[in-house]
Amino acid sequence: MTTLTALCTIAAVGILLIILGYIAMQGISSLSFNFLIDSPKPVGEGGGIGNAILGSVVLLLLAAGIGLPIGVAIGIYLSEFGTGKFEFEILEEIVQDLAPGHNYASDLEALEDLWLEKLQPYGARGYNEKKKTRDERLRMIVARRRTD
């Protein structure tokens, strides 16, 4: 399945590159300094993309003018008042198993179950939903089939 997905991706990207290459080869002769700075004109009279470039620059400057002060203010606030508010610590480590085909997903699932049982982050203490047992999941599937 992965091979089929890779082949389809390569085919789609290849077709896209062919189309973009064709457009670039046909349009490269029209590219000039005047085209980049002139304003648009009615069809057939030429013109350029100066307004589009100017609009992009104005939009970039506007976004930077709004975003940069906010980002700097948040950075200063967090450096002054956020020290010690965010802690990251290693709770557990998975020992690397050199056996071929070792399934780390089961190790991660066991660690997740261990910490969910220990912390109980459900309801008012968190946003997680308690995991259902295998029997509960099977009963839900059977109940859904009965209603369908």
Q: Would you say residue 6 lies in a domain?
A: no
- pTM of the model as a whole: 0.45
Per the structure block, which two tokens stand in for 30?
């029209």
Specify whether 110 is located in the same domain as 77: no
Domain count across the chain:
2
Mean pLDDT of 39-48: 82
Specify whether 64 is located in the same domain as 113: no
Q: Would you say residue 110 lies in a domain?
A: yes
Separation CA 91–CA 116 (nearest Å): 12
Alpha-helical (H) ranges within the chain are 2-27, 33-37, 50-81, 104-119, 134-147
Specify whether 64 is located in the same domain as 26: yes
Between 14 and 121, the more confident residue is 14
Q: Is 44 exposed, middle or buried (0-12, 13-18, 19+ CB in 10 A)?
A: exposed
Percent of the chain with pLDDT over 70: 97
Q: What is the pLDDT of residues 104-141, one digit of tens each?
A: 888 888 888 888 778 777 777 777 677 777 788 788 88
CA 72 to chain centre: 24
Specify whether 29 is located in the same domain as 75: yes
Specify whether 70 is located in the same domain as 108: no
Separation CA 6–CA 11 (nearest Å): 9
Per the structure block, which two tokens stand in for 113?
């179950």
In eight-state DSSP terms, residue 111 is: H
Instruction: List, in order, residues 6 or more apart from 131 with CB less than 8 Å away.
Output: 113, 116
Specify whether 77 is located in the same domain as 108: no
Q: Would you say residue 48 lies in a domain?
A: yes
Bridge partners of 47, per DSSP, are 40
Are 10 and 2 in contact, with CB atoms under 8 Å apart? no
Range of the domain at 139: 104-147
Mean pLDDT of 58-84: 92
pLDDT at 128: 67
